[in-house]
């Protein structure tokens, strides 16, 4: 009987997200290997989850709110939306009335709702975070891939964007602007955002500013929210998953554009009520603490972003030292992008025919390098590139060691990575061996 159940074609058109699939496979392998001895481990550069613990004040607040078992407002409880407004004001200089804030079960769901509600096609810069395009496919809507150029460090060039959007049909478009950017680690300057906003204004283009990595920007003073530059056209999404390491809590928020109509707020609220009713009420009450002024959480932001900077710098330099591989330098978040195109001829000769196969080839025996490549990053088949996440270490232990004895010099920082992230360090050696094997006759 079950074989006869017919599945809708738009569901068949998407696959299990590659990062989750590989992440689960590695977790399973490591679990098995804790009981029996295994001959190898993976270099886990595929799954980009914050490696740190949930900050203690947030854990405590969740425990204290277990009895809040009632349903709550679809848009989020007012205490939380007010706390989120205060947080955005303190950190990003945004002046937002709580009525423009909607709380959702992670920003992934909220981005999905924006795709659902807002008319027109979506412009997705590539390489891209792996979550956006399947959501649009699932909604039976369309997107346009806007290829970023390595010679410009994969930064959106306003003139290119202008030309690209000019060529699109339709009266309204939406640009996805992920800043800091997963997977390249690019952080946009205020001037760059102003130029991008100018293009968007000219072409009636809204922006989804996915700022989930904002507070992981290594030089935090360099981060500017698009909401301060293009307030009338920007949806800002952010949440607890990355800077507060609480991805599993499933809580994020969207700030609607400041000229948004009552109709848009109502549209959002009714879709939220229809799809998920409300975000878990205990989590919402706990999150009030996560968004309220708190010295311990501020220290947590400072320490974790420093660790990301140290790990990211070491790893991208290590990748760049491998002949034929060109890696971006991350300025925020916990990813960089590695370009393998210099090795294209060698890869083709060895039967690695496209970017999807690059991922399979890297993870295969004896290299075991887990990455995300190809379609998942919206790459062209002949664009050999890989997203590298640098979070494969025990975050809680590393956090405590950093707090007790922060590295003071560059040499200390190198030593810090070697001591605390050995699996990532040996991943660089594995990459060197992989490239040698690809180049060999
Ligand atoms: C760029 C980007 N946006 C959004 C998300 C989704 O985050 P959330 O846990 O809030 O759904 C992620 C998570 O991996 C991400 O990397």
Q: Among residues 124, 129, 51, 132, which one has the least CA distance to residue 312?
A: 51
The whole-number pLDDT of residue 19 equals 67
CA 131 from centre of chain = 9
The whole-number pLDDT of residue 12 equals 86
Closest ligand 1 atom, residue 181 Cα: 1
- Domains defined along the chain, listed by start: 2-52+297-439 (3.90.1150.10), 68-293 (3.40.640.10)
* Cβ 173 vs Cβ 120: under 8 Å: yes
- 70: tokens are 């009632």
pTM value? 0.95
The whole-number pLDDT of residue 2 equals 59
Q: For ligand 1, is residue 237 a contact (CB within 6 Å)?
A: no
> Which is higher by pLDDT, 369 or 32?
369
Closest ligand 1 atom, residue 107 Cα: 10
Confidence band, pLDDT 50/70/90 cuts, at residue 260: confident
Q: For ligand 1, is residue 106 a contact (CB within 6 Å)?
A: yes
The whole-number pLDDT of residue 34 equals 75
Confidence band, pLDDT 50/70/90 cuts, at residue 48: confident
Within 8 A by CB and 6+ apart from 78, the residues are 98
Residue 46, Cβ neighbours under 10 Å: how many? 28
Q: For ligand 1, is residue 289 a contact (CB within 6 Å)?
A: no
**Average pLDDT of span 218-242:** 98
Q: At what angle do helices 158-166 and 190-202 cross, to 10 degrees?
A: 20
Ligand 1, atom 6, lies closest to the CA of 108
Confidence band, pLDDT 50/70/90 cuts, at residue 35: confident
Q: For ligand 1, is residue 283 a contact (CB within 6 Å)?
A: no
**Average pLDDT of span 269-294:** 97
Q: Is the pLDDT at 363 greater than 90, yes or no?
A: yes
* Cβ 84 vs Cβ 90: under 8 Å: no
In DSSP terms, 339 is beta-bridged to 326, 385
The lowest-confidence range among 35-44, 53-62, 133-142, 274-283 is 35-44
Cα atoms found within 13 Å of the Cα of residue 83, Cβ hemisphere only = 19
Percent of the chain with pLDDT over 70: 98
């Amino acid at each position: 009987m079950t074989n006869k159940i017919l599945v809708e074609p738009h569901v068949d058109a998407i696959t299990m997200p590659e990062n989750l699939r590989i992440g689960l496979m590695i977790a399973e392998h490591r679990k098995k290997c804790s009981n029996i001895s295994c001959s190898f481990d993976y270099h886990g550069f595929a799954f980009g989850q914050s490696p740190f613990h949930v900050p203690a004040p947030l854990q405590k607040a969740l425990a204290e709110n277990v009895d809040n078992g009632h349903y709550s407002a679809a848009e989020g409880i007012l205490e939380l939306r007010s706390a989120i407004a205060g947080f955005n004001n303190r950190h990003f200089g945004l002046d937002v009335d709580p009525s423009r804030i909607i709380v959702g079960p992670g920003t992934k769901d909220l981005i999905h709702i924006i795709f659902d509600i807002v008319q027109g096609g979506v412009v997705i810069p590539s390489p891209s975070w792996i979550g956006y395009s399947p959501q649009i496919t699932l909604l039976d809507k369309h997107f346009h891939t806007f290829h970023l150029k390595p010679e410009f460090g994969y930064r959106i060039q306003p003139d290119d964007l202008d030309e690209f959007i000019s060529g699109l049909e339709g009266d309204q478009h939406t640009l996805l602007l992920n800043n800091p950017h997963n997977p390249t680690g690019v952080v946009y300057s205020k001037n760059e955002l102003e130029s991008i906003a100018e293009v968007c204004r000219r072409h009636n283009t809204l922006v989804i500013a996915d700022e989930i990595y904002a507070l992981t920007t290594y030089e935090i003073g360099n981060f500017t929210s698009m909401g301060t530059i293009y307030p009338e056209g920007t949806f800002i999404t952010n949440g607890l998953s990355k800077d507060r390491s609480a991805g599993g809590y499933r809580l994020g928020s969207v700030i609607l554009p400041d000229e948004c109509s009552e109709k848009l707020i109502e549209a959002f609220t009714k879709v939220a009520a229809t799809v998920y009713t409300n975000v878990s009420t205990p989590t919402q009450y706990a999150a009030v603490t996560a968004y309220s002024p708190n010295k311990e959480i501020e220290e947590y932001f400072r320490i974790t972003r420093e660790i990301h900077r140290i790990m990211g710098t070491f790893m991208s330099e290590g990748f760049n030292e491998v002949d034929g591989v060109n890696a971006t330098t991350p300025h925020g978040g916990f990813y960089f992008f590695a370009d393998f195109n210099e090795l294209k001829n060698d890869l083709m000769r060895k039967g690695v025919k496209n970017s999807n196969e690059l991922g399979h080839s890297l993870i295969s025996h004896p290299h075991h390098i887990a990455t995300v490549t190809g379609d998942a990053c919206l790459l062209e088949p002949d664009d050999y590139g890989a997203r590298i996440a640098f979070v494969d270490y025990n975050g809680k232990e590393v956090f405590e060691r950093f707090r007790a004895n922060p590295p003071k010099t560059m040499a200390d920082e190198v030593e810090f990575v070697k001591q605390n992230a050995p699996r990532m360090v040996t991943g660089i050696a594995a990459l060197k061996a992989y490239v040698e094997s690809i180049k060999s006759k």
